[in-house]
């Protein structure tokens, strides 16, 4: 409670800075700030920002591309549709720093090896970008976020003089694998991401594309060079650790994890199916609930794919188990007597599960491992439905 109070207090005193195009002194510095992961899901990937410091002119501000306006009309609708505009915010450094200290998140600073002209160019670019007419941009988790903006601003200002080396990237990860580096595999956040995001994130990311994550912006800057005056210099002049957090052990119960709870649900479905086999009956409410839940999830995934601007939700083959057409078959499956020809739909559901397994094995899309017990239960239930309908 105290931590949340401090966080809100710091947000209130974090006063926005008006645009200042004043010339920087020779002693000014431009640096990249990298903030470590936080406790919440949206904080798990860290954060990046620019710091512009000029002690002679009394300037010490942070340019943060991770802000958005909660007062935006239809905020949640736009967020769900991928149409929410993020913006560049400018704040004084000290409240920014204290905010992340209060959250117990480490802070590192990379002072850039820029000459005075380059520092002024970066500063002017950022102040111009912070103007009301320029500060908003359409957020994309992989290609246009608070981390990629750091990389892109430096590339725009330095142009061909900047070279990002790639030899620090030793392994070829997919976008999904890069995301999961920051999450526990058996967590609800990991499950939600694996269900909501499609096969488009299962391709190998190029080294420069790793920089949608702040830790790779840090690594990329550390290994980048500037070609200037027939020579080569590192992009980062010096690195400071501004705050070392105190690591706290994560407290998560396996009995509340998705693998355990979905496993229990899968066993329950298998148990009811076994009872039905013994009694030569069919639990209609279970079948109705199964079709209802998978159908609703399927509609949600379909909307994320076709009705939003989110690029990462396309080609989502979770629709092979969460099939939206099942909603139309609820009245049919709830009847005591089902026409024999309707078993063809149940056969389709079995074939879709088989196709999903092929997609998983061949690497077309990686699915959440926590879903495995539930999918096994679905398959057994569908096979029993096929058998029961055939013997009516």
Q: What is the pLDDT of residues 341-381, one digit of tens each?
A: 889 999 999 999 999 999 999 999 999 999 999 999 999 99
Question: What pLDDT score does 20 carry?
Answer: 62
Cα 347 off chain centre by: 35
Question: What pLDDT score does 345 carry?
Answer: 96
Question: What pLDDT score does 122 carry?
Answer: 97
Q: What is the 3-state secondary structure (H, E, C) of 16-57?
A: ECCCCCCCCCCCCEEEEEEECCCCCHHHCCCEEEEEEEEHHH
Question: What pLDDT score does 81 carry?
Answer: 79
Please enumerate in sequence order all residues whose Cβ is within 8 A of that of 112, keeping only pairs 6 or more positions apart, or say none.
29, 30, 31, 32, 119, 122, 154, 221, 235, 236, 237
Task: Report how far residue 292's alpha carbon sits from residue 296's, in angstroms, rounded to the nearest whole number.
Answer: 6
Among residues 66, 87, 92, the alpha carbon closest in space to that of 130 is found at 87
Please enumerate in sequence order all residues whose Cβ is within 8 A of that of 135, keeping only pairs 6 or more positions apart, or say none.
87, 88, 89, 129
Q: What is the pLDDT of residues 216-253, one digit of tens each?
A: 999 999 999 999 988 999 999 999 999 999 888 777 78
Q: What is the pLDDT of residues 158-182, one digit of tens each?
A: 999 999 999 899 889 999 999 999 8
Q: What is the pLDDT of residues 206-217, one digit of tens each?
A: 999 999 999 999
Taking all residues of the chain, what is their mean pLDDT, rounded to a whole number?
A: 91
Task: Report how far residue 27's alpha carbon sits from residue 13's, in angstroms, rounded to the nearest whole number.
Answer: 28
Question: What pLDDT score does 392 carry?
Answer: 75
pTM flag (> 0.75)? yes
Kindly list the domain boundaries of the chain, sorted by start residue: 2-243, 254-391
Confidence of residue 21 (pLDDT cuts 50, 70, 90): low
Question: What pLDDT score does 8 carry?
Answer: 44
Question: What pLDDT score does 362 carry?
Answer: 96
User: Counting beta carbons within 10 angstroms of the beta carbon of residue 160, is it exposed (0 to 12), middle (13 to 18) or buried (19 or more)?
Assistant: exposed
Task: Report how far residue 384's alpha carbon sits from residue 338's, in angstroms, rounded to the nearest whole number.
Answer: 14
Evaluate whether 317 touches 358 at the Cβ level (below 8 Å): no
Q: What is the mean pLDDT of residues 298-317?
A: 95
Examine the pLDDT at 321 and tell me if it is beyond 90.
yes
Examine the pLDDT at 18 and tell me if it is beyond 90.
no
Question: What pLDDT score does 4 carry?
Answer: 44
Among residues 335, 259, 261, 339, the alpha carbon closest in space to that of 291 is found at 335
Question: What pLDDT score does 171 carry?
Answer: 87
By DSSP bridging, strand 107-112 and strand 236-243 are antiparallel
Examine the pLDDT at 14 and tell me if it is beyond 80.
no
Question: What pLDDT score does 342 carry?
Answer: 87
Q: What is the pLDDT of residues 92-136, one digit of tens each?
A: 999 999 999 999 999 999 999 999 999 999 999 999 999 999 999
């Amino acid at each position: 409670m105290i931590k949340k109070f401090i966080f809100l207090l710091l947000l209130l005193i974090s006063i926005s800075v008006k645009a200042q195009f004043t010339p920087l002194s020779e002693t000014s510095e431009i640096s990249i700030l990298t903030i470590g992961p936080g406790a919440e899901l949206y904080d798990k990937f860290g954060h990046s920002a620019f710091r512009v410091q000029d002690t002679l002119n009394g300037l010490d501000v942070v340019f943060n591309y991770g802000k958005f306006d909660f007062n935006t009309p239809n905020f949640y609708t736009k967020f769900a549709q991928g149409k929410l505009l993020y913006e560049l915010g400018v704040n004084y450094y000290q409240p920014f720093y204290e905010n992340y200290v209060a959250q117990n998140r480490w802070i590192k600073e990379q002072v850039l090896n820029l000459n005075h002209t380059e520092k002024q160019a970066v500063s002017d670019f950022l102040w111009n970008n912070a103007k009301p007419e320029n500060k908003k941009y359409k957020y994309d988790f992989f290609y246009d976020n608070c981390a990629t903006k750091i990389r892109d601003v430096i590339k725009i200002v330095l142009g061909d003089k900047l070279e990002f080396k790639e030899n620090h990237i030793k392994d070829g990860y997919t976008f999904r694998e890069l995301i999961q580096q920051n999450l526990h595999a058996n967590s609800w956040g990991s499950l939600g991401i694996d269900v909501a995001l499609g096969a488009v994130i299962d391709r190998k990311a190029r080294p420069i594309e790793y920089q949608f994550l702040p830790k790779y912006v840090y690594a990329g800057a550390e290994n980048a060079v500037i070609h200037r005056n027939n020579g080569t210099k590192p992009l980062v002049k010096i690195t400071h650790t501004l705050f070392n957090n105190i690591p706290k052990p994560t407290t998560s119960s396996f009995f509340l994890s998705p693998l355990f709870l979905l496993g229990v649900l899968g066993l329950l479905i298998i148990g009811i199916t076994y009872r039905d086999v013994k009694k030569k009956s069919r639990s209609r409410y279970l079948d109705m609930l199964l079709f209802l839940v998978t159908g609703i999830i399927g509609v949600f995934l379909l909307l994320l794919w076709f009705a939003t601007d989110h690029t990462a939700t396309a080609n989502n083959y979770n629709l092979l188990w969460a099939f939206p057409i099942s909603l139309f078959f609820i009245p049919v499956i709830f009847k005591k007597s089902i026409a024999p020809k309707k078993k063809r739909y149940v056969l389709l559901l079995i074939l879709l599960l088989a196709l999903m397994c092929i997609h998983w094995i061949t690497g077309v899309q990686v699915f959440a491992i926590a879903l495995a017990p539930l999918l096994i239960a679905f398959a057994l239930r569908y096979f029993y439905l096929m058998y029961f309908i055939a013997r009516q």
